[in-house]
């Protein structure tokens, strides 16, 4: 009985994670379209939400990796999953507050691995699976995406060099709508599956599902809804960093970046690589900066992001392990509930902090002045 | 037990380039084809010097019938390619569940 209570709590927490995943990552699909004016900010997040929902139904390969390829499912308990999710959510919210497009996937995977290690020791983690399916793709994917985007950008400018600038801008803005839609679809396909994988993991841990099962339909539907809602809310802070912070983007570059992201994400998900859509999108955007003569990449912003990427897995793991420690110390169902109360309190605090330097659809495209908070707002909190 | 699945890697790079850079390049070709014709010369003469910063004409259609037909065909090919890719991913992504 108490196990069922915990299971319900875990599923709800997982869906909350999925929601943060959605709003943290809206920018991956839509930042460049919003930055070039191809789509209005609100239209962009609405379209992206719908396509994330559709995309979630497209593939189950990544969910399978998460559910069975990273940790020894026999050693995972519901408490472990709950603590791992808490780790993922907290890291996602912190990076969102700072406007850093870090990987939601790594936050989730880090959290789950941390809590598994705290519960059952390092031997319960399938290190080979972790390195070959998560760490190596994390290093390679932005490079591949950057390469594809740089080639694409060069080709687009080359082929349309006889067009007037106005015609080119106009044409590629239309094209960008299409490419942005495909990225949103790809995001739903790749990222919604991560939560599906975790819920499946919890159901297996609880004995509700047999080992090696696929995600049930209700899980897929709930995850699709959660990520779509999160996307619709829009993580304006991250959108701003990606769209305005890295490179000043023109519409051909936007289309090249989005096409590169979409292709790399969709191809990798179909191989079951749980790669980070964030890393791919960032790699693509930097690639378009490299592929266009005279474009300037703000490497200091890129460097800050890369630092956050390196820290994401271990930091989320530490939070996940701490969460497990607290839940284990208190014990039983109450332990999980205590964890979730702490999680809710911290989330509330982070949200309250974010109000001080609000970024929303109205100021998301304001000129980049060095930090995520546009200048007219008193900006001491996010500059750090 | 290899750390890097090289087969998957080269497939991602090659197909990534074909779909991720090739399709937008095809789209660019479509735009170019669409722009052919008398209107473009007029737009250029009206101040929008091709490829320069001064180009403020955003007229896309050049007026050449053949150009327009080619452009439409190219755009349809792109849509079909996207649809086909999505379908492939759908069939690849729903493997039979492992044994119970």
With CA atoms as reference, the chain A residue closest to B3 would be A132
The angle at the Cα of B29, spanning B28 to B32, to the nearest 5 degrees, equals 90
Task: Report CA-CA distances (Å) from A129 to A67, B10, B11, B86.
Answer: 12, 20, 20, 27
B25 touches chain A (CB under 8 A): yes
Question: Is residue B69 a part of any domain in this protein?
Answer: yes
The angle at the Cα of A179, spanning A176 to A183, to the nearest 5 degrees, equals 130
Question: Is residue B80 a part of any domain in this protein?
Answer: yes
Write the ipTM: 0.80
Question: Is residue B98 a part of any domain in this protein?
Answer: no
How much is the pTM? 0.82
Reported confidence tier of residue B74, pLDDT bands at 50, 70, 90: very high
Closest CB from A148, A214, A270 relative to B17: A148
Question: Is residue B34 a part of any domain in this protein?
Answer: yes
Question: Is residue B1 a part of any domain in this protein?
Answer: no
**Number of structural domains, chain B?**
1
User: What's the rounded Cα separation, in Å, for the pair A365 and A239?
Assistant: 9
A295 touches chain B (CB under 8 A): no
Task: Report CA-CA distances (Å) from A347 to A22, A87, A90.
Answer: 16, 11, 7
Question: Any bridge partners for residue A71, and if so which?
Answer: A125
A contacts of B43 (beta carbons < 8 Å):
164, 167
pLDDT by 10s per residue, chain A, length 384: 457 888 888 899 899 989 988 888 887 888 888 888 888 888 888 998 999 899 888 877 777 777 777 777 777 788 888 888 888 888 888 888 887 878 888 888 889 889 988 888 878 888 888 888 788 888 888 999 999 999 999 999 999 888 888 888 888 988 988 898 998 988 888 888 888 888 888 888 888 887 777 788 899 999 999 999 988 887 788 888 777 777 778 888 889 999 999 999 888 877 777 778 888 988 998 898 888 877 777 888 788 878 888 888 888 899 889 888 888 888 778 888 888 888 888 888 888 887 777 777 777 777 777 666 665 544 444 443
CB A191, CB A21: distance < 8 Å: yes
Question: Is residue B17 a part of any domain in this protein?
Answer: yes
Torsion angle defined by CA atoms of residues A89, A52, B22 and B61, in that order, rounded to the nearest 10 degrees? -130
Range of the domain at B15: 7-50+58-92
List the 38-97 stretch of B: residues with Cβ below 8 A of A: 40, 43-44, 48-60, 78, 82, 85-86, 88-90, 92-95, 97
Q: What is the pLDDT of residue A32?
A: 82
């Amino acid at each position: 009985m108490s196990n069922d209570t915990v299971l319900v709590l875990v599923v709800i927490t997982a869906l909350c994670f999925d929601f943060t995943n959605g709003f943290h990552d809206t920018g991956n699909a839509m930042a460049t379209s919003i930055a070039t004016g191809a789509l209005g900010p609100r239209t962009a997040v609405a379209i992206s939400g719908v396509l994330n929902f559709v995309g979630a139904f497209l593939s189950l390969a990544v969910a399978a990796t998460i559910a069975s390829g990273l940790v020894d499912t026999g050693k995972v308990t519901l408490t472990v999953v709950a603590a791992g999710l808490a780790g993922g959510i907290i890291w996602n919210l912190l990076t969102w507050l700072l406007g850093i497009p870090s990987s939601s996937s790594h936050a989730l995977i880090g959290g789950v691995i941390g809590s598994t290690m705290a519960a059952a020791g390092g031997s319960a983690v399938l290190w080979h699976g972790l390195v070959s399916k998560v760490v190596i793709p994390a290093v390679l994917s932005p490079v591949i995406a950057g390469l594809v985007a740089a080639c694409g950008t060069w080709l687009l400018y080359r082929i349309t060099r006889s067009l007037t600038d106005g015609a080119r801008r106009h044409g590629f803005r239309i094209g960008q709508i299409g490419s942005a839609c495909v990225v949103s679809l790809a995001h739903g396909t790749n990222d919604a599956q991560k939560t599906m994988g975790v819920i499946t993991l919890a159901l297996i841990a609880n004995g509700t599902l047999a080992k090696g099962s696929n995600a049930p339909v209700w899980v897929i539907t709930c995850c699709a809804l959660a990520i779509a809602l999160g996307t619709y809310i829009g993580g304006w802070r991250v959108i701003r960093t990606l769209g305005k912070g890295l490179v000043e983007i023109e519409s051909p570059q936007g289309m090249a970046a989005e096409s590169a992201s979409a292709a790399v994400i969709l191809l990798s998900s179909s191989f079951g690589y749980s790669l980070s859509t964030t890393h791919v999108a960032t790699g693509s955007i930097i690639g378009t900066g490299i592929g266009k003569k005279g474009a300037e990449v703000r490497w200091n912003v890129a460097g800050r992001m890369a630092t956050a990427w390196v820290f994401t897995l271990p930091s989320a793991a530490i939070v996940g392990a701490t969460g497990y420690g607290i839940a284990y110390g208190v014990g039983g169902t109450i332990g999980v509930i205590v964890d979730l109360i702490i999680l809710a309190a911290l989330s509330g605090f982070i949200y309250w902090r974010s109000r001080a330097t609000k970024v929303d659809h109205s100021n998301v495209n304001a000129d980049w002045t060095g930090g995520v908070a546009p200048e007219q707002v008193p900006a001491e909190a996010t500059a750090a | 037990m290899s750390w890097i699945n090289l087969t998957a890697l080269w497939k991602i790079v090659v197909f990534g380039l074909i779909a991720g850079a090739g399709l937008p390049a095809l789209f660019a070709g479509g735009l170019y084809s669409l722009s052919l014709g008398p209107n473009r010369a007029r737009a250029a003469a009206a101040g929008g010097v091709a490829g320069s910063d001064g180009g403020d004409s955003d007229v896309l259609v050049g007026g050449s019938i053949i150009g327009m037909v080619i452009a439409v065909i190219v755009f349809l090919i792109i849509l079909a390619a996207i649809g086909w890719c999505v379908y492939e991913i759908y069939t690849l992504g729903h493997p039979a569940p492992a044994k119970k």
